[in-house]
Structure 1
Amino acid sequence: MRSNGQIKFLKFSAKLQKRIFFSVSALIIAWLLITLFMAANQYSVSLERMALTQKEAKVQSAEERVSDYKDSIDDVAKDISKRQDMLDALSRQYMQDMPEAEKSAAPANANQNELSKKVGAIIPEAAALAEIEQRQINYAIRLTKLAQLRAARAEKEIKKFGLNPQAFMDDNKAQGGPFIAFFGQKETAIKDPRFAKLEIALARMSAMEDLLSSIPSSMPAVAAEMSSGFGFRSDPFNGRGAMHSGLDFRGAHGTPILAAADGVVSFAGGQSGYGNTVEITHANGLMTRYAHLSAINVKVGQKLLTGTQVGKMGSTGRSTGTHLHFEVRVNGQAINPRKFLEAGNNVLKVKGSNSAGNSASKGTK
């Protein structure tokens, strides 16, 4: 080491060098062992999860079904009764949309029907329960088909708006509440994978139909004339090129302004440039804004249905005359509302039928 014209030397003995070498080597080996252990442990957990998934997805054999019934016929009876109540509720909600031919058509499941007969032959007192359980399984298969059809129909209509339905599927939604098993408490009640498939199909159907209902496709003002489009325009005050992030609708002062879709009021008050403004948050990152209002008829936190009056047309804020400024935003980014309003006329029937089914669903929870 050179310092102020002087050179100093640091000497490491061979013994010290060996200690340093072995210490560093030991640390590296320890780190590698820990990493290897963690990787092995993670692999083991993955194998266990795969094995559990395969086990849950396995359809019960005749021996397993017999074993379940032998354990406690009373428990099985109570569980099947509970599951029947839930299936009856689902029937009231959704079976009205199923074609008559689909309702009466029995699925090709002869092997499973034979399985129930075997259970009844081995345990005569459980024969009636085994038959009921098989009828429930057959019904679940038909109801799964219906849910898949409704989800596909809603997904098709969503795509007409230029939206990707899968992009709005949020796996990390803020949810909670106590666990209440939909198909009963006993393990045997949910062991058959066809009930798990039904749960998945109903969840997807509900998500697609909720998203469709939340798309702002209803006109925000009746008998209003569009006076300015989305995108580039000449600013009405200074004449310079400007970005217009919504649509302007011209009409009479006090014209009712209506919610374009179901949602919750997230803002109601004055905003710079917008004047009196109402913002409605819809599902999956969708938001609509209604600006330049002469009056506001809603408050923050209020839940609204499509067509609910949110205010009256005016000319507050940066405005040259009475009109409504209407915006649609997805995750904060403004998009052209025109395609939503134009496509909306073709999907009102779908949204109407879905709303009826969802209303029934909410009424039974």
Structure 2
Amino acid sequence: MNDAETVRKRSLIERWFPVRYLYLRNGDDVRACALGSGRQCMIAVVAVLFSGWTLIASGGLILDLVTNARADEAVIRARASSERVNADLQARLDTAVVRMSATTGSLDDMALMVERRHAALTTVMSMFRGVDGAETALRPALPQHSATQTPLRRILAVRLDQERLIARAEAVAQTRAERLRLAFRLAGLNPAAYSASGPGLGGPLVEASDPKALAAVLDVDEAFAVRIRHAADNLSDMRRLADAAEGLPFRRPTQARTTSSFGVRFDPFNHHPALHQGQDFAAPLNTPIYATAPGTVSFVGVRSGYGNTVEIDHGRGFKTRFAHLNSTAVRPGQQIALGQRIGAMGTTGRSTGVHLHYEVWMNGRPQNPARFMKAGDQLVQQD
């Protein structure tokens, strides 16, 4: 029975891959090369593996292109939303000027309202202290009062500047928070999981969740209180995401060129398909290597296949690995700052030339370092 099955299998293979002849001619000399069933079968297997690898690589490239396109669309939508808000604000301000110019209300009441709004604005502006560019963007307009202006016109001018400031505060906080959320998405992380943790801003802006309650606390109208709360919420998210981003490996270990990316590739030693769990960078011997985030050195030494290796624990389940180093400049247990030199590029371990093998791990699983570096590039553009 086994012999019959073997004969049947052979006949099936020979039917799919009959013997073919390849004729090579050199002048009058003609040579024939026979391609047997086994050799054709081997060629077919190699072709299938190569096609599969091509499909996987093409899929990864298409996924990266789609991710970048979505990121660009998110920035465009945020910009369009900001422009619509500004246009709506201008329309409301024009209406308010006309209404207030025609009012017969008391100047004292209007002045009191402006003073209350000014106190609330002072609270909001103090929250933006330390935010890059916020001081210039949120600077009050210089008063341009003339001798012929009435007190009503002066109060109107102050109120319009207050409207401009709260609108700018909303835009600054929303834009910064949205860019940070985009950076986390580029890294494949859920921004909500990081903005929900960490200390809040505190005070009435956080404690008073109801608009009416916040308006009562700040002693301003409800509409103005809602806008203040919106700016405060975005600013709170921005600061929490910014604090989280400072501890994640978003920066580049070196500015050297990439020679091999994360994913399936042919092993340079046995030429078989294998998962490459990191990203390789090539540069001259002893090129400095830098920490991509602050953390604690958890390992310094030789690992099988990796050669001289440095591993850093960044907390929150993140770890980075730097392999094939020629030398190391840190020790286990040492606290590392962002951008600190940890070693020099080499070719130790299972290596075919001078390069850095860089890995990013999250909760025990290898991640694509390119996504984290794209997130870091997004943060650098924001700065």
Taking structure 1 as the reference length, what is the TM-score of the superposition? 0.50
Taking structure 2 as the reference length, what is the TM-score of the superposition? 0.48
